[in-house]
Structure 1
């Protein structure tokens, strides 16, 4: 169902901290014009922990309105509360979301059975395709492959954004899940690796700023143009690494600000980059011909 580059959109804020709707609409159109396969609003990169539930749904609505059916919109409506995830997913479906991104419940660190019941309960309650989001570095606990295999039996659980950082786990997931179950990288620096191993692409942070380059990299990999894809991967590797100079989404949001897409505005506890990291990123953007 999912293949290619799906951009994990930033949520632009005004200097006063409100959602910057005009900036978000401009970003959506730039993404679609660059050829991305789909858009993923209000994930980690969209600062989901610091927007209210009402703002979460409003951002999803803006993206759906501006996309106008041109690309799928995978709405970030996850929560560590199953009831809250269901409530927001229902709202996203009413707005016309194509699918939903559901992060593994965080902080409360459920058992594997708890993971299974959380995702399948959402899938039973709201008839919308689910992309599971496994990111143990943020949530505190890994969704094991055995659990994912069980969940994949549900017709509404159709994909995973795999951000465990473990190539061994990625291979295990690809090998054991049904062929029609999409496995996408949650890390730009592993997009080439996971896709070359049989995955379907990436939910990308980098594509906020360099969508056409990410589309080309993933398309070349999917088409088996290994030499070209590998060359593109290594050319972009310094860019991917720069995304982790500070906590995501601070570096990519600063990059987007420097490129003229948005204000350099965050919500606490996220804070702007240090001057040293700003200088490093400014030099990188100049090297890539972005600013």
Structure 2
């Protein structure tokens, strides 16, 4: 079994569709190749940015199988699991495990506001059904369920629960987790506009969104920060921030897919009930992206940075 690193940049990849709404595997893999060439360390398939709520289990497995065949020997391939029922989550986990997926990102049970103990027990039940390494997703802003310190305390003995996608929007939560658990859980920032800040506070990685359109800039920021080259990273990050803010928006999927079109590595097709951007909002987003592309910074030779030397 592959050892998932849970460090570095993990794109939350968008799911590519044809105009009639079917999976578009060739375009999906084209984008993934750009990500790998830019130096990403893994990727999360079928997450919220991947239009998770519109995907069937079978479609998720098709995406996993295609990704493993294309790049599974080079990066960590992680499947998002977002289910309302424990039984359905375990069914998906077992099917993905058979295909050879490297790890899982696991959300709290959806479509119901569970108690703290129900959340803890859900995570325990899914984790004990598999040997796959797991990253929990802590996003109380969007999903109204917080994975509290108390829940993490209950999960410490489950060795395959190894990481957290930290999306509380509270930068101090990185320090809070470190103070309580040391290095027991890897911490990956899940909010693009807080990534450099959380990396400076000790986060291990970045589950990124705008990386789908700007992979080189994203990986450069990560590696420069870890190498202590803060001024160089900050120069890129300041340029990047207006674009990164497209990630903290209800229409982040449409925003990022439009950005992928404008950088030549994606398509704009979404699944209903989503619509592509139109009108004034479309023009606003295009304006942000055009300005960013016109002033795109020259990057240092970031791929030569061996982050492990600075750990």
Query: What TM-score does the superposition give when structure 2 sets the normalisation length?
Result: 0.89
Is 2:274 aligned against 1:270?
A: yes
Indicate the residue corresponding to 2:39 in structure 1: 35
Q: State how far apart, in whole Å, the 1-side matches of 2:181 and 2:51 are.
A: 30
Q: 1:288 aligns with which of 272, 275, 292?
A: 292
Query: What's the offset of the Cα at 1:227?
Result: 2.3
| Contact 1:13 1:262 (8 Å CA) reproduced | no
Indicate the residue corresponding to 2:211 in structure 1: 207
Count of aligned residue pairs for this structure pair: 291
Q: State how far apart, in whole Å, the 2-side matches of 1:58 and 1:139 are.
A: 26
Q: State how far apart, in whole Å, the 1-side matches of 2:121 and 2:134 are.
A: 14
| Contact 1:246 1:273 (8 Å CA) reproduced | no
Indicate the residue corresponding to 1:234 in structure 2: 238
Q: State how far apart, in whole Å, the 2-side matches of 1:88 and 1:268 are.
A: 23
Distance 1:152 1:206, change over 3 A: farther
Indicate the residue corresponding to 2:300 in structure 1: none
Is 2:88 aligned against 1:59?
A: no
Query: What's the offset of the Cα at 1:245?
Result: 4.7
Distance 1:138 1:80, change over 3 A: farther
5+ residue gaps, structure 1: none
Indicate the residue corresponding to 1:90 in structure 2: 94
Q: Spell out the pairing of 1:1-291 with structure 2 (5 A cutoff).
A: 1-289=5-293
Q: State how far apart, in whole Å, the 2-side matches of 1:212 and 1:77 are.
A: 27
| Contact 1:123 1:157 (8 Å CA) reproduced | yes
Question: Which 4+ runs in 1 deviate beyond 6 A?
Answer: none
Deviations 1:173-200 (Å, cap 9, x if unpaired)? 2322231421001101111111110111
| Contact 2:80 2:104 (8 Å CA) reproduced | yes
Report which stretch shifted further, 140-149 or 151-160. 140-149
Describe the SS at the equivalent of 1:127: coil
Deviations 1:46-96 (Å, cap 9, x if unpaired)? 101011111121112211111131101011123121111111111111111
What root-mean-square deviation, in Å, do the aligned CA atoms of Structure 1 and Structure 2 show?
Answer: 1.7
5+ residue gaps, structure 2: 297-311
Deviations 1:88-120 (Å, cap 9, x if unpaired)? 111111111111010122221211111111111
Q: State how far apart, in whole Å, the 2-side matches of 1:8 and 1:152 are.
A: 26
Distance 1:80 1:258, change over 3 A: same
Deviations 1:152-207 (Å, cap 9, x if unpaired)? 32101000001111223332123222314210011011111111101112100011
Query: What TM-score does the superposition give when structure 1 sets the normalisation length?
Result: 0.94
